[in-house]
Amino acid sequence: AAFLEERVRPSGRTAEVHLAGHQPDAIATCIALAYPDRIARKKDGVRYLLRNGRTAQLAEHDPLAREPWLAVAELGGGRDTWISAAAPISEEAVRGLFGGQITTEHRGHWDERQERIIAVVAERLGALTISERPDTSADPEVLARVLADVILEREGRDLSWTPATEQLRDRMVFARTLAGEDDPQILTSELLAPYLIGKRKIGDVGSIDLHAVLSGSMTWQEQKELDAIAPVWYTPPSGRQVRIDYADPARPIISVRLQDMFGVTITPTVGRGTIPLTVELLSPARRPIQVTRDLAGFWTGSYQEVRKEMRGRYPKHNWPEDPTTYV
């Protein structure tokens, strides 16, 4: 009767399984049929990907590492998964045994070297890719979603971020954070993908009007709500509009010349009056003088020291004793 035996290689190497009286292909077939989820294809070096999605490895310099395919009879545990016993198996044998379970997938993948999406038709057996070939009839929407995922993995740095677009994104994050969202995601694959149809290269995405993409994600009513909760501008008594910076949703800030705030006794707010702005007060040369979230306290406190210093540096500018009534 036939029996299984193991020819054990020197210490630290995998046992290559043999079946008395049978050829190696028969051995591999027995293992493959007994453990179909352990069909393995080489990834790199001594690492193999199993059909079930796990990664396992051979010992360094193991002769079995020359084999592109293995039928794995035994796995060792521990922190890493080791291939303890296996036999080489050919791709032809894998196809013959599991041909009915091989699926065909049309997909796109990111080529880091070319910085573009490559469309392929892939034959798959579980987690294993048996073959790939170029796909000349790939679905543009599928490829657009793959490119969108790549853009997000690269943190959107390939998109064209104008100051106005960055502020719109930050305003949207601020509004959603205020509404209770823990980690608001403004850019998503679903939002970007329709604008990426027909594009393959990462260098092509800079032409997208990102401000229009973000604006288009909101209804007219939602845009009006955003304007009320997170306005673009603050207008001080001087009439010089100042852009509000929402980069830190917990601390929106304006940078404004101190003289432009004369007459303002209450710290301006956003979020429908719930969040006081941090006010960075600037000198006539637009250098920072003071940062405060309490204008009234600043006027009655450290302003007099600031006034004394500024009068010496900028004598041609007005530095009233009572800035709360001077406009």
The confidence band for 144, taking pLDDT boundaries of 50, 70 and 90, is very high
User: Looking at the structure, do residues 139 and 192 belong to the same domain, yes or no?
Assistant: yes
Contacts of 55 (CB under 8 A, 6+ apart): 43, 47, 48, 49, 81
Asked if the structure places residue 213 within a domain, the reply is yes
Residue 62 one-letter amino acid: D
Range of the domain at 272: 233-313
Whether 82 and 76 have beta carbons less than 8 Å apart is answered as yes
User: Looking at the structure, do residues 201 and 266 belong to the same domain, yes or no?
Assistant: no
Closest of 301, 229, 227, 290 to residue 261, by C-alpha = 290
Counting the structural domains of the chain, the total is 3
User: Looking at the structure, do residues 81 and 41 belong to the same domain, yes or no?
Assistant: yes
User: Looking at the structure, do residues 107 and 198 belong to the same domain, yes or no?
Assistant: yes
User: Looking at the structure, do residues 281 and 267 belong to the same domain, yes or no?
Assistant: yes
Asked if the structure places residue 327 within a domain, the reply is no
User: Looking at the structure, do residues 224 and 239 belong to the same domain, yes or no?
Assistant: no
Asked if the structure places residue 292 within a domain, the reply is yes
Backbone angles phi, psi at 104, to 5 degrees: -110, 130
Task: Tell me the mean pLDDT in the region 235-243.
Answer: 94
Computed over every residue of the chain, the mean pLDDT equals: 90
- C-alpha to C-alpha distances, 304 to 86, 308, 322, nearest whole angstrom: 83, 6, 9
pLDDT, one tens digit per residue, over 50-61 is 999 999 999 888
Q: Does the pLDDT at position 68 exceed 90?
A: yes
User: Looking at the structure, do residues 119 and 200 belong to the same domain, yes or no?
Assistant: yes
> CA 167 to CA 232: how far, in whole Å?
8
**End residue of a domain, out of 50, 79, 99:** 99
User: Looking at the structure, do residues 165 and 248 belong to the same domain, yes or no?
Assistant: no
- C-alpha to C-alpha distances, 221 to 183, 218, 226, nearest whole angstrom: 23, 8, 9
Predicted TM-score of the model (pTM): 0.72
Contacts of 284 (CB under 8 A, 6+ apart): 257, 259, 314, 317
Closest of 266, 255, 264 to residue 291, by C-alpha = 255
User: Looking at the structure, do residues 222 and 240 belong to the same domain, yes or no?
Assistant: no
pLDDT, one tens digit per residue, over 205-222 is 999 999 999 999 999 999
**End residue of a domain, out of 99, 122, 151:** 99
* Residue 2 or residue 245, greater confidence: 245
pLDDT, one tens digit per residue, over 188-207 is 999 999 999 999 999 999 99
User: Looking at the structure, do residues 156 and 117 belong to the same domain, yes or no?
Assistant: yes
- C-alpha to C-alpha distances, 179 to 33, 42, 88, 176, 191, nearest whole angstrom: 56, 49, 59, 5, 21
